[in-house]
Homo-oligomer: A and B are copies of this chain.
Amino acid sequence: MAFTNGFTKHTKQECLDIAIVGGGLVGSLAALHMAKKGHKVSLYEYREDIRTAELVIGRSINLALSVRGRKALKEVGLEDKLLEHGIAMYARMIHNTDGTRNAIPYDRRNHQAIYSVGRKYLNEVLLTAAEKYPNINLNFNKKMVGGKVDKGEVTFIDTTNEEKKNIFADLIIGCDGAFSSVRREMLKRNGFNYSQTYIEHGYLELCIPPAADGGFQMPENYLHIWPRGKFMMIALPNQDRTWTVTLFMPFENFDSIKSSEELLKFFEIYFPDAIPLIGKERLVKDFFKIPAQHLIAVKCRPYHISSKCVLIGDAGHAVVPFYGQGMNAGFEDCSILTELFNKYGSDLEKILTEFSETRWIDAHAVCDLAMYNYIEMRDLVNKKSFLMRKALDDFLHWIAPSYWVPLYSSVSFTCMPYKKCIENREWQDRVLNKIFTVCSFIGVSSCLLGAIHLYNTYNTMEELSFN
């Protein structure tokens, strides 16, 4: 496959040696983006090739692909392939404790959906596409153990033979996830601001198997939610008709469930309809298999060091999973990098500086949004005030589609910068508050006028009755 050279005029144009650390979703997509711009890309992944791996550790996990991720996939010609595979989810399906369910559409007006896609499948598609580029070189079983990343140097150990090797590149892109080794090196450098925050809730994965007839046990075009105030359970559909179920809960609640009796009692109270779906035996087995896992949020600023190293994806901005934006934000990083390469050619100094100076605002914003959405998902979706606001938002979006975009839609169905999504919502809140105040004033005034009118009528009648 011939590769295109996307350099625009009047910019520094050079073919760069780019080393990508991490061959997960963001790493393999970044390789495609950089190769498409004509650079020589070497990708280094700690694990073995996921496509030929015999052992798949843990359960296959699915992710919600939305517009930002789709855009970045489209830019390397892979959007359609992924959408064909993915399962569209048009609405949240709320499961109540009495067994009833109600759907809350994501986008009542345009019927847009988010797509449940398998992590493994997506990763495989990206790696296979990468392999077709003559200027991408894939390296597996390469564990990063150090390196002067500010000098473009990384040290890897080959996990198959313990051989140590230093590589040098014009640019290192760290896409090695929330526990990034590239970031660990950057942490030692002056001026690198960093925070990692664990929330006090953990998660645990369960599974709903297919029905006896091989189909889905629940309607599949929904993201199923069991909101229970302080905790919640969600389920996303898989291609093989199973559901990946995730229980999010404070660690102290996980710790309080010690026996299968206690577990079943807990499920009977809070998730009674899920017991027959999962099956008692499987529920007990999966629940006690591994302890609840932690959830981390990461913020960095800047994302680059010298003009040799930059962090993207979870390595730069891991978020809690409640807005389904972790992968989408990481994919969006690839789009943004491509835009900056279009703007500045191969002038890495300018590219990385602009990336660092602008991206953190939106990355910090999506981090905060994701924290907020946990409260919305586990608690607010059950509240009348949320449903009324949702109806009002839908109505206003219907009469002024480009003017009034609800928060969820702006995050999941547009590429509006995340920070702008928050500001947009704050502006909407102010407008609605004002309208509410004016309506209240009119209401109170009307009542008062009514009361005065009644009083006058009564007085007149009394006078008449006296006369």
Contact = CB atoms under 8 A, between A and B. Distances in A.
Given A179-B188, A188-B179, A195 B198 contact: no
**Residue in A184, A190, A192, A294 whose Cβ sees the most chain B Cβ within 10 Å:** A190
A447 to B, nearest CB: 35
B198 A193 contact: yes
Interface string A188-223: 101111111110000000000000000000000000
Nearest to A198: B191
A187 interface: yes
A248 to B, nearest CB: 16
A194 B192 CA distance: 13
Nearest to A191: B198
Contacts of A191: 198, 294
Contacts of A197: 193, 195
A294 B193 CA distance: 12
Contacts of A195: 193-197
A188 B296 CA distance: 12
Interface residues of A, number: 14
A294 B196 contact: no
Interface string A222-256: 00000000000000000000000000000000000
A85 B188 CA distance: 36
A197 B294 CA distance: 24
B194 A196 contact: yes
As for how many copies of this chain the complex holds, the number is 2
Contacts of A188: 179
Contact of A187 (B190, B192, B193, B196): B196
Contacts of A190: 198, 294
Nearest to A299: B195
Contact of A192 (B184, B192, B196): B196
A195 B195 CA distance: 4
A188 B195 CA distance: 13
Contacts of A179: 188
Contacts of A294: 190-191
Nearest to A197: B193
A297 to B, nearest CB: 10
A285 B198 CA distance: 47
Nearest to A179: B188
Contacts of A198: 190-193
A207 to B, nearest CB: 23
Interface string A267-295: 00000000000000000000000000010
Contacts of A184: 184, 187
Contacts of A194: 194-196
Nearest to A188: B179
Nearest to A195: B195
A391 B191 CA distance: 39
A197 B193 CA distance: 5
Contacts of A192: 196, 198
A184 B146 CA distance: 14
A187 B296 CA distance: 12
A193 B196 CA distance: 6
A184 B183 CA distance: 12
A193 B294 CA distance: 12
Interface string A163-191: 00000000000000001000010011011
Contacts of A196: 187, 192-195
A295 to B, nearest CB: 10
Interface string A4-35: 00000000000000000000000000000000
* 8 tightest Cβ-Cβ pairs between the two chains A and B: A195-B195, A190-B294, A191-B198, A194-B196, A193-B197, A193-B198, A191-B294, A193-B196
Given A192-B198, A195-B196, 8 more contacts: A179-B188, A184-B184, A190-B198, A190-B294, A193-B196, A194-B194, A194-B195, A195-B197
8 contacts: A179-B188, A187-B196, A190-B198, A192-B196, A194-B196, A195-B195, A195-B196, A195-B197
Interface of A: 179, 184, 187-188, 190-198, 294
